[in-house]
């Protein structure tokens, strides 16, 4: 809190290494000033309303002539809450705390004072600055009475202009003075310290029968610059947050989010949206009453993980985090970029690209003829949501879900496939594939490569193909039966190729709480000991059997085509 004769404490701040942000910082070191009163780890700045509540305000000698102009006055008291909200937009993003104080006849004033004066001329207003912050007038905001008696609510020009002047009071400069912002960035899309409006900034509001001015927050470069001066507010939106927008409520704004797992939700939008989740990037939303471009920014050092598209032909771009991108209706384009992403196109003919990482394409949820493009990492196409069986061939790059109403998909750069709960046909390619049947009586062929095959529940037929393949069984319930005619079949088990039958996920002894391994007993009969695994030649084929409860009877079986001589080394027990 200050007095009218006493200058508030300030300090000189430093420049950054980025020319875009420096363009918002003062070029003259004498004016490169930040407030310096700190309490509870935050820079505390007070503000007051000149002549507020009808109280006489005092001014130091040499203050200036704003208070003696032809027209002067106080800001409307009914807008004090809106003024507080304008200050809050800066406190949300920077390590700042603002408090309103009342001016008194004894000379108590805020660090920043706000009043109306015709001395500002034709301008909306201005903010006073003094070299070194030597005078109490430093940081005071004077507003043209022609505009200053109107509302300061969000979606008015007054609200945005006030945020602009508060930016000056906190130490920011115009991007076209001193340090010059790079070409193409001197717009309020990037910084509210600019004088240049973006396209569509005035949007007609039928409820008011008037136009809104729709810049609602400091923008990406404003946030970077103010955080360079005061630090970031790391408690704002630090949890899991959903940013849900309405197609009838247009805006220009930037998200500052300090942590958590966060979502941009555009499911109510019917027009095309472009969303880029990279920090510092901009997105364009398809509003119904105005056309805008680059209206939603994501501040630097912010990670938004997930995005839901709407009914339009959307483009959703992920970042380096593990993103979940859902296109929903429309012919969408989804790009995961880095991280282990989850991508679903929804209805329509979609193109989904995973990028780096181990990505998952939710093909069972996608209605249409979709294209799935993997990339570096082990990528998965899953048809788990399909309502009938599907046929997927990685060698030809086709996933046929037409019987399930899913369309015919194009698949490339994908190593893993999961089928539906029904009878699927899954074929690999020359790579090391992981093919999982899920439920149903599946036919799975790994083709070339060292493949991993999981039949899942149902009576499955598994073919490894050339290469050292693994046939994995994770639960006893996955074995279809305990006899040669009811059990799963492996058609080409070859010890010489290095094939293995993997039973390690199964607890071999159901009578104990421990996770026991099987004991391989060759062709010997069961000994009424839980956890035994044996095999026998029957009908020219090899029948593998397991007893998990010690009753001497097979609880599951697996048929290997051909008469084979098995050893313990053919299994992972």
Both tokens of 133, joined, read: 């912050």
Q: Measure the CA dihedral 300/301/302/303, to 10°.
A: 120
Backbone phi, then psi, for 58, in 5-degree steps? -105, 150
Taking alpha carbons only, the member of 217, 224, 229, 256 closest to residue 171 is 229
Q: Over the Cα atoms of the chain, what is R_g?
A: 34
DSSP state of 405: T
What count of other Cβ atoms lies within 10 Å of the Cβ of residue 145? 19
Residue with tokens 């599907």: 390
Q: Which of 165, 415, 478, 532 is catalytic?
A: 165
If residue 223 lies in a helix (H) or strand (E), which one and from where to where?
Answer: helix 220-230
| Triad 469, 470, 474: Cα angle to 5° | 165
Instruction: Give the whole-angstrom CA distance, residue 351 versus residue 363.
Output: 11
Instruction: Give the whole-angstrom CA distance, residue 478 versus residue 126.
Output: 74
**CA distances (Å), origin 472, targets 203, 287, 453:** 60, 50, 6
If residue 166 lies in a helix (H) or strand (E), which one and from where to where?
Answer: helix 157-169
Which three-class secondary structure string do you get for 507-538?
Answer: CCCCCCCCCCCCEECCCCCCCCCCCEEEEEEE
Instruction: Give the whole-angstrom CA distance, residue 206 versus residue 156.
Output: 15
- 478 classed as catalytic: no
CB 342 within 8 A of CB 384: no
Within 8 A by CB and 6+ apart from 450, the residues are 432, 467, 468, 469, 470, 498
By annotation, the residues acting in catalysis are 165
């Amino acid at each position: 809190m200050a007095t009218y004769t006493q200058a508030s404490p300030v300090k000189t701040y430093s420049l950054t290494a980025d020319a875009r942000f420096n363009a918002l910082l003062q070029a003259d070191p004498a004016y490169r000033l930040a407030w310096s009163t700190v309490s509870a780890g935050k820079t505390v700045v007070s503000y007051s309303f000149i002549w507020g509540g009808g109280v006489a305000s005092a001014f130091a000698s040499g203050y200036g002539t704003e208070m003696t102009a032809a027209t002067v006055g106080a800001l409307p008291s009914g807008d004090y809450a809106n003024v507080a909200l304008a200050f809050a937009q800066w406190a949300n993003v920077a390590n700042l705390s603002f408090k309103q104080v009342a001016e008194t006849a004894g000379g108590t004033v805020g660090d920043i004072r706000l009043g109306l004066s015709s001395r500002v001329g034709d301008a909306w207003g201005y903010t006073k600055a003094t070299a070194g912050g030597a005078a109490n007038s430093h940081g005071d905001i004077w507003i043209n009475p022609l505009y200053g008696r109107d509302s300061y609510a969000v979606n008015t020009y007054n609200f945005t202009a006030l945020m602009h002047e508060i930016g000056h009071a906190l130490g920011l400069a115009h991007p076209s003075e001193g340090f010059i912002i790079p070409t193409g960035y001197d717009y309020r899309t990037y910084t509210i310290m600019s004088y240049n409006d973006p396209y569509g900034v005035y949007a007609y509001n039928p409820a008011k029968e008037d136009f809104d001015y729709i810049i609602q927050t400091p923008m990406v470069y404003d946030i970077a610059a103010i955080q360079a001066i005061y630090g970031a507010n790391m408690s704002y939106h630090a949890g899991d947050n959903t940013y849900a927008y309405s197609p009838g409520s247009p805006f220009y704004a930037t998200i500052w989010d300090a942590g958590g797992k966060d979502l941009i939700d555009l499911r109510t939008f019917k027009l095309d949206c472009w969303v880029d989740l990279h920090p510092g990037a901009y997105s364009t939303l398809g509003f119904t009453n105005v056309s805008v471009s680059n209206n939603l920014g994501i501040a630097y050092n912010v990670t938004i993980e997930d995005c839901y598209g709407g009914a339009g032909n959307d483009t959703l771009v992920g970042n380096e985090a593990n993103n979940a991108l859902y296109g929903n209706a429309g012919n969408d384009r989804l790009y995961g970029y880095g991280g282990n992403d989850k991508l679903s196109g929804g209805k329509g003919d979609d193109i989904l690209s995973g990028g780096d990482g181990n990505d998952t394409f939710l093909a069972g949820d996608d209605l249409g003829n979709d294209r799935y493009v993997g990339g570096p990492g082990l990528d998965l196409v899953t048809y788990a949501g399909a309502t009938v069986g599907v046929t997927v061939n990685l060698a030809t790059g086709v996933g046929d879900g037409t019987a399930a109403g899913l369309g015919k998909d194009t698949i490339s750069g994908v190593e893993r496939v999961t089928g539906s709960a029904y009878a699927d046909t899954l074929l690999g390619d020359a790579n090391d594939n992981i093919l999982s049947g899920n439920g149903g009586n599946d036919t799975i062929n790994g083709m070339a490569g060292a493949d991993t095959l999981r039949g899942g529940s149902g009576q499955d037929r598994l073919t490894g193909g050339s290469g050292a393949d693994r046939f994995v069984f994770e639960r006893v319930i996955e074995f279809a039966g305990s006899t040669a005619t009811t059990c799963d079949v492996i058609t080409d088990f070859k010890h010489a190729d290095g094939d293995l039958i993997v039973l390690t996920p199964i607890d071999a002894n159901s009578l104990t709480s421990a996770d026991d391994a099987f004991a391989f007993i060759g062709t010997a009969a069961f000994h009424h000991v839980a956890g035994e695994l044996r095999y026998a030649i029957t009908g020219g084929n090899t029948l593998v059997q397991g007893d998990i409860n010690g009753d001497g009877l097979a609880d599951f079986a697996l048929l290997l085509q051909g008469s084979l001589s098995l050893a313990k080394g053919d299994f992972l027990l």
